[in-house]
Amino acid sequence: MTESPGTTGLIMNEPLLWEKSRQGRCGISIPESDVETTPLDAEFAGEGPDFPDLSEVDVVRHFTRLSQWNFGVDTGMYPLGSCTMKYNPKIHEKIAALPGFAGAHPMLPPDLAQGTLRIMYELERFLCEITGMDATTLQPAAGAHGELTAMLLFYAYHKSKGEKRTRILIPDTAHGTNPASAALCGYAPVPVTSGDDGVLSVEAVEALMDEETAGIMVTNPNTLGLFEQNIRKVAEVVHRKGGLVYGDGANMNAVMGIVKMGEIGIDAIHLNLHKTFSTPHGGGGPGAGPVCVRKHLEPFLPVPRVTKNGDAYALQYNRPDSIGKIHAFHGNFGILIRAYSYILSMGRHLKTASQHAVLSANYIKERLKDVLHLPYDRPCMHECVFTDKNQEDFKITTLDMAKRLMDYGFHPPTIYFPLVVHGAIMIEPTETEPKENLDQFIETFKIIIKEAVETPELLREAPTAPKVRRLDEATAARKPCLCG
């Protein structure tokens, strides 16, 4: 395919349902009642809700048109860096919707819920095998919830040793939720500056690590898309002072089946099942952020724990050192089903998926680095980070280029993140885009960069093709309009 996927074809206007309403119009046929009606007393009857009167075709066309204004992984390439917006096989949705799973009541006694308990038990073991850790809790509802859970585990571990530590080290290339999660647990986040090569230096950690510090939160691969190659020595420094190492596993899509986190010094790691193992990220959830730990943190994991005795599965609550419950019932079980199905269907190809994701990111990096500024010119992992430095002379910003991509039918990548890179453009193609799509994205970006020189107004006014034009972002932020 050489043509842009974006077009200026039919974009249907659509008013509010209340504006389409016509008195007496109805979309359903209700059988005539054969029971004598009895009016309610006036004190119990009010005006009634303000529902619009609509026909079936009014409703169907309304929501169909709205759906055509959206963009998602089922529509086209979604290179949102640090969020792993990959296409996932729809069979996982079908499996999660099976009546036996979707209708399983969370309060069923274990002897009537052996199937669901077995899935949770086996998923925990799968995640342990993938990460090289010893035990897993499936309860956290999302990534940041997993971070908080890990910090609670750190706190409980140090408390069990009679220690009260007050600080946690957080590199400047970590995910932005890390400091908040640490602070919620009472720790004071201490920033660690990365080296000129974009990764942590052992010396920087050594200078800050002391007996007051509970540990370090390392995103690996980090938000520059680089693998923290000094992680073993960093972990040794932290462990020498009695601290623990937390791994933010949100970027696991780059290293599935390749890196055993438990063998490189990580004590606890969370995984975003809704990113790495089926179910695209975004849209407000639900998600799942299981935490995998080494043996010395297992006693503190949340209750209940799924146990297996022979062929029978049970829920274990009697764990005196546990941090307690951190989610109702069993967590977001529907997401667990999707991840379980993804892992089983991929099997040994989990590793291949990561390899393809890394290959795709490096392909884009190499093809665009001659036209976009590349702050760290070295092999990347699943995502690559450029800047708008080459376009400064033309007064074109990262935002302008991202908006212009929408005119060509691509969802914009993540922009202005990570914060350590000025004018950052973070691209994560994932493993699911074929080479033709990557080439199309690359050639489109090159056209936009040429436009930045020859017709910069096209970028400053972009997007012009989608339903909604560029917003006054300052006004939108300060005076948001949250209704139709």
Predicted confidence (pLDDT) at residue 484 exceeds the cutoff of 60: no
Strands 213-219 and 244-249: parallel
* Tens digits of residue pLDDT in 165-212: 999 999 999 998 999 999 999 999 999 999 999 999 999 999 999 999
Predicted confidence (pLDDT) at residue 10 exceeds the cutoff of 80: no
Please tell me whether residues 380 and 353 are part of one structural domain.
yes
Query: Does 32 or 98 have the greater pLDDT score?
Result: 98
Residue-level pLDDT at 194? 95
* Tens digits of residue pLDDT in 60-89: 999 999 888 888 888 899 999 888 889 888
Reported confidence tier of residue 471, pLDDT bands at 50, 70, 90: confident
Predicted confidence (pLDDT) at residue 154 exceeds the cutoff of 70: yes
Predicted confidence (pLDDT) at residue 283 exceeds the cutoff of 70: no
Residue-level pLDDT at 279? 81
* Domain-terminating residue out of 346, 379, 401: 346
Please tell me whether residues 312 and 377 are part of one structural domain.
no
Of 211, 264, 205, the closest CA to residue 241 belongs to 211
Least confident segment among 47-61, 211-225, 445-459: 47-61
Please tell me whether residues 290 and 362 are part of one structural domain.
no
- The residue range of the domain holding 202 is 104-346
Domain assignment present for residue 19? The answer is no
The CATH code of the domain that includes 146 is: 3.40.640.10
Residue-level pLDDT at 461? 94
Mean pLDDT of 387-398: 97
Residue-level pLDDT at 43? 85
**Whole-structure pTM over 0.75, yes or no?**
yes
Predicted confidence (pLDDT) at residue 483 exceeds the cutoff of 70: no
Reported confidence tier of residue 282, pLDDT bands at 50, 70, 90: low
* Tens digits of residue pLDDT in 123-147: 999 999 999 999 999 999 999 999 9
Please tell me whether residues 339 and 374 are part of one structural domain.
no
Please tell me whether residues 128 and 196 are part of one structural domain.
yes
Domain assignment present for residue 438? The answer is yes
The CATH code of the domain that includes 435 is: 3.90.1150.10
Residue-level pLDDT at 83? 84
Mean pLDDT of the chain: 93
* Tens digits of residue pLDDT in 312-347: 999 999 999 999 999 999 899 999 999 999 999 999
How many other CB atoms are found less than 10 A from the CB of residue 325?
Answer: 12
Domain assignment present for residue 152? The answer is yes
Taking the mean position of all CA atoms in its chain, how far away is CA 224?
16
Please tell me whether residues 118 and 216 are part of one structural domain.
yes
Please tell me whether residues 266 and 393 are part of one structural domain.
no
Are the beta carbons of 157 and 294 closer than 8 angstroms? no
Please tell me whether residues 329 and 423 are part of one structural domain.
no
Domain assignment present for residue 318? The answer is yes
Are the beta carbons of 300 and 157 closer than 8 angstroms? yes
Mean pLDDT of 242-247: 98
Reported confidence tier of residue 98, pLDDT bands at 50, 70, 90: very high
Please tell me whether residues 249 and 281 are part of one structural domain.
yes
Residue-level pLDDT at 176? 87
Cα separation, 433 vs 360, in Å, equals: 8
- Looking at the 3D structure of the chain, how many domains does it have? 2
C-alpha count within 13 angstroms, C-beta hemisphere, residue 337: 21
Please tell me whether residues 333 and 372 are part of one structural domain.
no
Alpha helices by DSSP H, 169-290? 177-184, 202-208, 231-240, 273-276
Cα dihedral 432, 438, 441, 445 in deg (nearest 10): 130
Over pLDDT 90: what percentage of the chain? 81
Predicted confidence (pLDDT) at residue 373 exceeds the cutoff of 70: yes
What's the token pair of residue 316?
């274990």
Reported confidence tier of residue 472, pLDDT bands at 50, 70, 90: confident
Residue-level pLDDT at 39? 85
Over pLDDT 70: what percentage of the chain? 98
Which DSSP letter does residue 459 get?
H
Domain assignment present for residue 16? The answer is no
* Domain-terminating residue out of 346, 371, 386: 346
Least confident segment among 56-60, 149-153, 242-246, 477-481: 477-481
* Domain-terminating residue out of 324, 346, 368: 346
Contacts of 19-24 with CB under 8 Å at 24 or more apart are: 20/52, 20/54, 20/58, 20/62, 21/52, 21/53, 21/54, 22/53, 22/54, 23/53, 24/53
